[in-house]
Structure 1
Amino acid sequence: MKVISKWGTGVDSIDAEACAKFGVKLGRTPNAFTTPVADTVLGYMLAFARRAPWMDRAMKSGKWEKIPGRTLSEMTLGVIGIGNIGKAVTRRAKAFGMKVYGTDIIDVDHVFVGETGIEMTNLQSLLSNSDFVSVNCDLNPTSHHLINADTLALMKPTAILINTARGPIVEEKALVAALGSGQVGGAALDVFEFEPLPADSPLLKMDNVMLAPHNSNSSPAAWERVHWNTIKNLVEGLGMQVKK
């Protein structure tokens, strides 16, 4: 084997150390789905803040129920992982007037911090101060089950957890318990520890949870770019050139 060309951004399913050891080139598409994923996070925040899905359900069940909502400018957002997607989420949130907290294991560009006004802090402070918590970090040994029973206990009882990154970053059993007990207000999940989500998952019966089948990357324009770059990485990895 000479080349592995990964369709997409994440390479957590590939043994990068083994590739390096055996001289196998590893290609991917950084920044592949930043726009659709960031849009998805914003959509989830708007849905929970304005209570649109719940009013729709009430209307369709014959109830004229005015469910109180909030504006995003009244709420705070914590972004875990300030990479390409985390930055895009931050910019969208700031455009809606939100106070944004951020945390990362590496230093974040001071120009970005200055431009957006994001307040960089530690994970514990972020969790305790945020109305929404958006998981946007990579899956690696330091982030596996980063969101667990202990960290969930730090969140506001009204807070919403949004995960559009990788399922195993969140300890699903602990999240189910926190949602069921009211320790956490709700969740929007596009990714899961085991995919497809098992048919007997308690998440499927929770009214305070929004679910999607790992689909936040949905975008014909983004797919086309990744298709092309995946082929390009493969061909160039074999020592040839690609002309578009």
Structure 2
Amino acid sequence: MEYSFIGLSHGLPKVNDNMYWKVLVSAPYMQSVIDEFRPFFKENNIEIIIPAVKERLEEADLLNLIEDIDGVICGDDRFTAKVFHKAKKLKVLAKWGTGVDSIDKVEAQKLGISVFNTPNAFTDPVADSVLAYILSFSRKVPWSTVAMRQGEWRKKPCISLKECVLGVIGVGNIGTAVIKRALSFGMKILGNDVKKIRPFGVEMVSKLNLLKKSDYISINCDLNPTSFHLIGEKEFALMKPTACIINTARGPIIEEKSLISALRQKKIAGAGLDVFEDEPLSKNSPLRKMDNCLLAPHNANSSPAAWAYVHQNTLNNLLKGLKSGRKA
């Protein structure tokens, strides 16, 4: 990977190391609007380093950049123990967004490096996206549009959401928002969560029963060691052949090879995917060619208002962590 660097050092006092901080900005969403926030960095004596990032920085990329960095505004970069041990000056990771599954939080805590995120940042746009997938499958809008453009006049069989059961795996902030939207359409809701909760309008069931009974299954749990490949060959075998699965959480929660096999063999009817095991999704992925698969490039968080809030909160978190310093 090639690196391009953009700094504010020309306007910063560099009398000694305590006078300014060096910050790596690797979050693509922040990079795209960096000019808007240059006054903030200059006012707070922060020199910014901006590497070229396609989707995220891997461990090897970070090892080449991190040694003299005080803070990072990161995306889904791979902050491993090896990276942290080379980051002798690192005080804070300010994650742009919510998910921190790509960060070794245990090692960061051992070394006194603060890790901040913005909880509940994208609940509404992600929940909207889940319903968009469900409605697309139930009302066949994408397929009807393609057929009409090809000159066909053929009425495709559809179904009302009131006739359907939605299973939500992970009834946290986003899962709850999905449920509220689905209830307004009259759907019956089944829920499954590691915590013992009883949300309004939801029948909490085992994962097995949820998979067997649901017409639509929405993945809304965190990615962690217990949810890695939570849905695989055995789980797809339990689902209805008419069921659709929707993942707007994290790609590795679904075992992608098993999903491709289930779609090919018509063990399930469809999949709506915003996230993938490896991102960006390979141009050669079979998923790109499947008519029963709706795809998006990890874009369910798209919302100007949500992004603006996360930009500001991330900067606040960065400054707080820089001023607090390393705790070890």
Give the TM bin, normalised by the shorter chain. Answer: over 0.9
Aligned counterpart, 2:93? 4
SS of the residue corresponding to residue 238 of structure 1 reads helix
SS of 1:210's equivalent?
A: strand
Q: How far off is 1:181 after superposition?
A: 0.3
CA distance in 2 between partners of 1:169 and 1:4 (Å)? 24
Q: How does 1:53-132 map to 2 (within 5 A)?
A: 53-108=142-197, 110=198, 113=199, 116-132=200-216
Cα offset, 1:127, TM superposition: 0.5
- How many Å separate the matches in 1 of 2:293 and 2:285? 12
Q: CA deviation at 1:107?
A: 2.0
Shift in Å, 1:17: 0.2
**Partner SS, residue 79 of structure 1:** strand
Q: SS at the partner of 2:323? A: coil
Q: Counterparts of 1:146-225 in structure 2 under 5 Å? A: 146-225=230-309
Q: Which residue of 1 aligns with 2:104?
A: 15
Q: How does 1:131-142 map to 2 (within 5 A)?
A: 131-142=215-226
Larger Rg: 2
User: Normalising by structure 2, what TM-score?
Assistant: 0.71
Residue 44 (structure 1) aligned with residue 133 (structure 2): yes
> Number of residue pairs matched?
235
- Quote how far apart the aligned CAs of 1:20 are: 0.9
- Secondary structure at the counterpart of residue 208 of structure 2: helix
Partner Cα distance (1:151, 1:50) in 2: 26
Which 5+ residue runs of structure 2 have no aligned equivalent? 1-89
Q: CA deviation at 1:239?
A: 3.1
Per-residue displacement from partner, 1:73-118 (whole Å, max 9, x unpaired)?
110100010110000000000011000001011122x4xx2xx310
Matched, 1:33 2:122: yes
1:153-190 deviation line (CA, Å, top 9, x unaligned): 11100000000000000000000000000101100000
The equivalent residue for 2:228 is 144
SS in structure 1 of the partner of residue 168 of structure 2? strand
Which residues of structure 1 form unaligned runs of 5+? none
Cα deviation for residue 2 of structure 1 reads 1.1
- SS of the aligned residue for 2:246 comes to strand
Counterparts of 1:200 and 1:86, CA distance in 2:
32
User: Shift of the alpha carbon at 1:238?
Assistant: 2.5
**What is the SS of the residue equivalent to 1:5?**
strand
Distance 2:305 2:236 in 1: 36
Which of 1 and 2 has higher RCO (CA within 8 Å, sep 6+)? 1
Distance in 2 (CA, whole Å) between partners of 1:81 and 1:239 is: 36
For 2:111 and 2:236, the matched residues in 1 are separated by 41
TM-score normalised according to structure 1 size: 0.95
Q: Which runs of 4+ in 1 moved over 3 A?
A: none
